[in-house]
Amino acid sequence: MTDPGPWGAPPPPAKPAHAPPASWRRRLLWLVFVIGGGALAAILLHVAPWALRTGYDWTFVVVWGGFLLLMSLGLMTARRGDILKGVRHAAIWVAVVGLLAFGYLYRAELAEAPLRLRMALNVGAPVATGERELRVAQTEGGAFVVVGQVNGQPVLFMVDTGATDTVLSPADARRVGIDVEHLNYDQTAETANGLGSGAAWTADRLAVGGLELGAFPMVVNKAPMGGSLLGMSFLDELESFEVRDRTLILRWREGAGSHPLAPT
């Protein structure tokens, strides 16, 4: 008999753990899994027979089918704790693959997310989205407002396709430096409040985003207004304008206006 020494006898070596034999319930579930997988594959092949046309397609199905079959065989004899751990890992991978697939499917929308954020945070500020293209976000009230510059002074315009001219309110005209008291208000126009009077005036420079127009004719309204209007006299200088997804898109041709600038 071996002397156990001062610390007592060493513990007996642990017996290797063996996975329990598969129960009849697991075998039944595995059989249902195999039959269901085969039936699903047959239905998909019947619905879309063109899905498996090349040898590569069949190889893909055989490889992944064999992989899933081996995985299912392993689950039959695995311990409950190992199964739960495997399920957690599989869920993580499914979430990663799903996130990547979501990003791929909606890559165009995600690419425009920074642009939409810039327009939402800077209401009225035109955002350059191309060499000669601007976008303006719609306000909560349904209008399109854009910040332009008249002779270097910022003016908030409301885009109005029903207005023939580009109209400055008296307040904006004074801020630009116009002596509104000595203008000749000899023009009349039909407005929402009735017949209004205006005076012709020419701006040395009208800029909206990257488009600059020199010697631009405008009208200074005599009566107070809620804001200035960017009318068809400006929109006609563009190559096109359209509204899409609550966004006004302005495009102009190369060389438009007296002094076209590149978008900044």
- Domain ranges, residue 182: 113-251
Question: Do 244 and 120 fall into the same domain?
Answer: yes
Question: Do 137 and 240 fall into the same domain?
Answer: yes
User: Is the model more confident about 219 or about 16?
Assistant: 219
Alpha-carbon torsion angle 179, 208, 205, 169, nearest 10: -10
Question: Do 89 and 169 fall into the same domain?
Answer: no
Residue 12 lies in a domain: no
pLDDT at 264 over 50: no
Residue 148 lies in a domain: yes
Residue 198 lies in a domain: yes
pLDDT digits (tens, 9 = 90+) for 205-215: 999 888 889 89
Residue 209 lies in a domain: yes
Question: Do 83 and 170 fall into the same domain?
Answer: no
Residue 7 lies in a domain: no
Show the tokens assigned to 126: 């035109």
Question: Do 160 and 104 fall into the same domain?
Answer: no
pLDDT above 90 coverage of the chain, percent: 19
What pLDDT is stored for residue 70 in this prediction? 74
What is the number of structural domains in the chain? 2
CATH of the domain at 167: 2.40.70.10
Residue 14 lies in a domain: no
Contact between 138 and 148 under an 8 Å Cβ cutoff? The reply is: no
Residue 3 lies in a domain: no
Question: Do 141 and 53 fall into the same domain?
Answer: no
d(CA 109, CA 154): 32
Contact between 135 and 126 under an 8 Å Cβ cutoff? The reply is: yes
pLDDT digits (tens, 9 = 90+) for 147-204: 899 999 999 999 988 888 999 999 999 999 999 999 999 888 766 555 678 999 999 9
DSSP 19: P
Question: Do 236 and 120 fall into the same domain?
Answer: yes
Question: Do 50 and 75 fall into the same domain?
Answer: yes
pLDDT digits (tens, 9 = 90+) for 252-263: 877 655 444 333
Contacts of 124 (CB under 8 A, 6+ apart): 136, 145, 146, 147, 156
Residue 206, helix vs strand vs coil: strand
Instruction: List beta partners, residue 205.
Output: 214
Question: Do 99 and 123 fall into the same domain?
Answer: no
**Where does a domain end: 108, 142, 163?**
108
Question: Do 122 and 172 fall into the same domain?
Answer: yes
Task: Tell me what the pLDDT averaged over the chain comes to.
Answer: 76
Contact between 143 and 158 under an 8 Å Cβ cutoff? The reply is: yes
pLDDT at 100 over 70: yes
Mean pLDDT of 242-257: 78
Show the tokens assigned to 185: 């208000």
Per-residue pLDDT band for 141 (boundaries 50, 70, 90) equals: confident
**Where does a domain end: 108, 125, 142?**
108
Question: What is the 3-state secondary structure of 53-122?
Answer: CCHHHHHHHHHHHHHHHHHHHHHHHCCHHHHHHHHHHHHHHHHHHHHHHHHHHCHHHHHCHHHHHHHHHC
pLDDT above 70 coverage of the chain, percent: 66
Question: Do 69 and 135 fall into the same domain?
Answer: no
Residue 184 lies in a domain: yes
Question: Do 36 and 76 fall into the same domain?
Answer: yes
**Where does a domain end: 65, 92, 108?**
108
What pLDDT is stored for residue 178 in this prediction? 92
Complete edge-to-edge strand list for the sheet that includes strand 133-137: 127-130, 133-137, 247-251, 240-244
